[in-house]
Copies of this chain bind each other. A is one copy, B any other.
Amino acid sequence: MVYNLPLRWKPCSPHPPSYPTSPSATSSTPVIPGAVEKMTTVSKESDVDVLIIGAGPAGLMCANALAMAGVNVRIVDQRPAKVPAGQADGIQPRTIEVFQSYGLGERLLREGNQMHMAAFYNPSPSGGIERTSRAPDVNAPSARYPFEVTLHQGAIESIFLDSMKAHGVVVERPIVPTSLELSESEEELKDANARPVKVVLKYLDPPADAGDSEIVHAKFVLGADGAHSWVRKTLGITLDGEQTDYIWGVVDMVPDTDFPDIRAKSAVHSHNGSCMVIPREGDLVRLYIQLADRDVVDPVTGRVDKSRMGPERLIEVAKKSFAPYRIDNAEGHFDWWTLYIIGQRVAAQFSVHERVFIAGDACHTHSPKAGQGMNASMNDTHNLAWKLTHVLRGWADISLLKTYELERRKYAQDLINFDKQFSKLFSGKPRTEESQDGVTHEEFLEAFQTFGLFTSGIGVHYEPSPITADHYQAAASKLIVGERLVPHDFIRAADARPYNIQDLLPSDARFKVLIFVGNTPDKAQAARVQMLADEMVRPDRFLVRFGKGHSAKVFDVWSISSAKKQDVNYIDLPPLFRPHWSHVLLDDTDMYACAGGGGYDAYGIDKQEGAIVIVRPDGYVGMVAPFERVKDVDAYFASFMTRA
């Protein structure tokens, strides 16, 4: 993602940085040149459960998830309003699934452009470029939405803002933090109800009759404040990694062109440099344009100088790549533009004492062209939000929060490794007559497809931990523990209505307990199912033990039969496995043979015997087990949940 670009490039800029700074609780706070100290008047002091600093995609995903869960949360941002245009714009298939899990997928799909097709252009022997092939943009067979959505960041932020507002949470702005102190008392740090974090907020546009700052005592703080994160710097967390030599320009405009693949994700490798086309909402198109040092580097200082390059000049560079096709700006204005050098870095830690967290660009920076940045950011906090909710509700031990860094830092490292390979391929010279050591189209296409599972977000795999227990993986051999629940259509027994199972398991902070009840019309199996129900209803089993007297708030129980719609009555299942008539599903086709069927096979579950599948509140498979191992399912929950 491309935030605050001039700052990154001009550390000696005469302008003050975006965030004013002040002496903080940690000694390693970097002092940014030009920071201005002012007298502040404290107008109030307040308590909050979660304070989020930064209302970009990472902060908003978290704020919305917590607002929907009814958690006491505040979110502040330094900007007086949300970004109007440009910035990040690509939503990957897995992220669409995540939006949908919060009930926000419909609007995202309505407003965004869908990118289904990739096109590859390479140097033509006769000069200029020619199309080598068209191919699917997404290479992840189980993706529920096999395409990317492109939409400008402001529109994406609005989706969250509107949803949060309906739950009573709005972004407070413009506000910056000026100090952050974390208690060193071990007792306080271990007590989920304590407020060990003290943050001073400064109102940049305070009401006339009040002071301009506020002391906030928070149980937890999230720094989602971008690549130049004040929270990260204040905590003294370092970014490991380095800057590359690849320099790119980005321009958003409505094109006037005869290039036939202007509405596809087109990778253009020419004799005269590389471009990437990203079609956007409406008629907008984003161009990524590779630049040479001579285009942007000041020969005297050796530094990148943004004043040497404007959007018109970027188009001039692009035109050379697109020839013989014509490309112009149709409207005389540019929606947005920027320049960047790819930096590939990961934060050394993602939290301090599981009380202050960082997420999004504050944790990882990389190239924007594979469209990962905003997705990684939002999935960071999608991972964190339910864990905070469980701890704050007293359902889970505070140690659950350690799994955030465990899961998301590993992912960020994988992302940087991928980015290094992809950037090298994309920014490298194409193979031509004259350049025999260049990258061949076959190499590029192969990488594009190999990386498909990763870039789509579908392949994200969390390692074994207290919340991902894979010892009985064979019970559902294709529902990989640590990966997201594979979407599949099932029908409801009561009314034969087909549903994608993902839509029945929303991100509502509940663990989903899926009882694949097998071949229920068979009497022996029906008896096994009844035995399982009798076992699971016992007070020492997890539903009661960790259900806190309101089991349905913590656990959402579903049953899925492998039998046919003519043979199953939902009413015949044990009441524990049908808390509502809608909670009995069948692995059968709908009345019109349009949807459903094949689910047990797709999940690798035995159609006679069934299995137990535990899905985490974020949609990832936490555990699978045969009926006989319900004791181990208890142990799974006991490893991080607290007793009634």
A264–B568 Cα gap in the complex (Å)?
A: 13
B594 adjacent to A117 (CB under 8 Å): no
- For window 98-129 of A, CB contacts with B under 8 Å fall at 106, 110, 114-117
A116 adjacent to B146 (CB under 8 Å): no
A147–B574 Cα gap in the complex (Å)?
A: 29
Contacts of A115 in B (CB 8 A): 495
Residue from B137, B260, B495, B566 within 8 A of A279 (CB atoms): B495
Min CB distance A130 to B, Å, is 12
Contacts of A110 in B (CB 8 A): 106
**A494-B146 contact, Cβ under 8 Å, with A136-B592, A565-B134:** no
A283–B495 Cα gap in the complex (Å)?
A: 12
Contacts of A283 in B (CB 8 A): 581
Contacts of A565 in B (CB 8 A): 117, 134
**A137-B571 contact, Cβ under 8 Å, with A263-B581, A494-B262, A497-B114:** no
Residue from B116, B279, B570 within 8 A of A590 (CB atoms): B116
A495 adjacent to B116 (CB under 8 Å): yes
Residue from B116, B279, B590, B591 within 8 A of A591 (CB atoms): B116
A570 adjacent to B260 (CB under 8 Å): yes
Contact with B along A122-158 (1 / 0, CB 8 A): 0000000000011111100000001100000000000
Residue from B146, B261, B497, B569 within 8 A of A594 (CB atoms): B146
Q: Does A258 interact with chain B (Cβ within 8 Å)?
A: yes
Contact with B along A486-504 (1 / 0, CB 8 A): 0000001011111000000
A570–B258 Cα gap in the complex (Å)?
A: 10
User: Of residues A147, A279, A495, A565, which shows the largest number of chain B Cβ atoms within 10 Å of its Cβ?
Assistant: A495
A566–B590 Cα gap in the complex (Å)?
A: 34
A136 adjacent to B495 (CB under 8 Å): no
Min CB distance A546 to B, Å, is 28
- For window 139-193 of A, CB contacts with B under 8 Å fall at 146-147
User: Of residues A114, A264, A496, which shows the largest number of chain B Cβ atoms within 10 Å of its Cβ?
Assistant: A496
B591 adjacent to A137 (CB under 8 Å): yes
Contacts of A495 in B (CB 8 A): 114-117, 263-264, 279
A146 adjacent to B264 (CB under 8 Å): no
A24–B283 Cα gap in the complex (Å)?
A: 56
Contacts of A591 in B (CB 8 A): 116-117, 135-138, 146
Min CB distance A584 to B, Å, is 10
User: Of residues A117, A136, A569, which shows the largest number of chain B Cβ atoms within 10 Å of its Cβ?
Assistant: A117
B116 adjacent to A264 (CB under 8 Å): no
A262–B572 Cα gap in the complex (Å)?
A: 14
Contacts of A581 in B (CB 8 A): 262-263, 283
Min CB distance A495 to B, Å, is 4
B106 adjacent to A496 (CB under 8 Å): no
Number of contact residues on A: which range applies? 35 or more
A495–B283 Cα gap in the complex (Å)?
A: 12
Nearest residue (CB) in B for A495 is B263
- For window 469-510 of A, CB contacts with B under 8 Å fall at 492, 494-498
Nearest residue (CB) in B for A146 is B592
A571–B325 Cα gap in the complex (Å)?
A: 12
Contacts of A146 in B (CB 8 A): 591-592, 594
- For window 582-608 of A, CB contacts with B under 8 Å fall at 590-592, 594
B114 adjacent to A260 (CB under 8 Å): no
Nearest residue (CB) in B for A143 is B592
A594–B116 Cα gap in the complex (Å)?
A: 12
Contacts of A260 in B (CB 8 A): 569-572
A35–B565 Cα gap in the complex (Å)?
A: 56
A566 adjacent to B134 (CB under 8 Å): yes
- For window 264-318 of A, CB contacts with B under 8 Å fall at 264, 279, 283
Contacts of A497 in B (CB 8 A): 114, 116, 147
User: Of residues A110, A494, A592, which shows the largest number of chain B Cβ atoms within 10 Å of its Cβ?
Assistant: A592
Contacts of A106 in B (CB 8 A): 106, 110
**A263-B116 contact, Cβ under 8 Å, with A135-B591, A146-B591:** no
Nearest residue (CB) in B for A141 is B592
Min CB distance A67 to B, Å, is 21
Min CB distance A22 to B, Å, is 48
A455–B591 Cα gap in the complex (Å)?
A: 17
A571–B131 Cα gap in the complex (Å)?
A: 15
A498–B114 Cα gap in the complex (Å)?
A: 10
Contact with B along A553-590 (1 / 0, CB 8 A): 00000000000011001111000000001000000001
- For window 399-414 of A, CB contacts with B under 8 Å fall at none
A137–B116 Cα gap in the complex (Å)?
A: 35
A564–B571 Cα gap in the complex (Å)?
A: 50
Contacts of A494 in B (CB 8 A): 261-264
Contacts of A570 in B (CB 8 A): 260
Residue from B116, B135, B137, B571 within 8 A of A258 (CB atoms): B571
Min CB distance A504 to B, Å, is 14
A134–B494 Cα gap in the complex (Å)?
A: 11
Min CB distance A381 to B, Å, is 27
Nearest residue (CB) in B for A491 is B116
Residue numbers of A with Cβ under 8 A of B are 106, 110, 114-117, 133-138, 146-147, 258, 260-264, 279, 283, 492, 494-498, 565-566, 569-572, 581, 590-592, 594
9 cross-chain CB contacts under 8 A:
A116-B496, A116-B497, A116-B498, A116-B590, A117-B496, A137-B591, A263-B494, A263-B581, A279-B495
Top 3 nearest A-B pairs (CB, nearest first) are A260-B569, A263-B494, A136-B591
Further contacts, 12 of them, CB under 8 A, given A135-B591, A264-B495: A106-B106, A114-B497, A116-B497, A117-B591, A138-B591, A146-B591, A258-B571, A260-B569, A260-B572, A263-B492, A263-B495, A279-B495
